[in-house]
Amino acid sequence: HTQGGWVHVPVDALEIPRGQPYLVHDLLTDDKFIWHGEKNFIQLDPQIVPAHIFSVRKRLKREMDFDYFM
């Protein structure tokens, strides 16, 4: 049975400024998500995605972060 629920991300402990979006990378599926705030919804389906292992990156790259941006 598919299960869903809310995940609490300790944004203060991760030094993510309040209101700033951050990148969440699922290391099992290689899916990437942009999350906001401390509370985010996840879903697990034993037939498709029985688990998540997330890596959190607190700073998103913007276009001006790349060398070709002028």
11-32 confidence digits (pLDDT tens): 999 999 888 999 999 999 999 9
Domains identified in the chain, total number = 1
Q: Is residue 30 part of a domain?
A: yes
pLDDT score of 58: 82
- 64 or 27: which carries more pLDDT confidence? 27
Q: Give the pLDDT confidence score for residue 68 in this predicted structure.
A: 65
CATH number at residue 31: 2.60.40.1180
Residues of the domain holding 27: 3-65
Question: Domain for residue 28, yes or no?
Answer: yes
Q: Is residue 27 part of a domain?
A: yes
Enter the pTM of the model.
Answer: 0.78
User: Within a domain: residue 20?
Assistant: yes
Q: What is the DSSP letter of 29?
A: T
70 belongs to a structural domain? no
Mean pLDDT of 51-68: 78
Query: If you average pLDDT over residues 34-40, what whole number do you get?
Result: 95
What b/e string do you get for 9-18 counting C-beta neighbours within 10 Å, with b at 16 or more? Answer: bebeeeebee
Please, are residues 65 and 23 in contact by the beta-carbon 8 Å criterion?
Answer: no
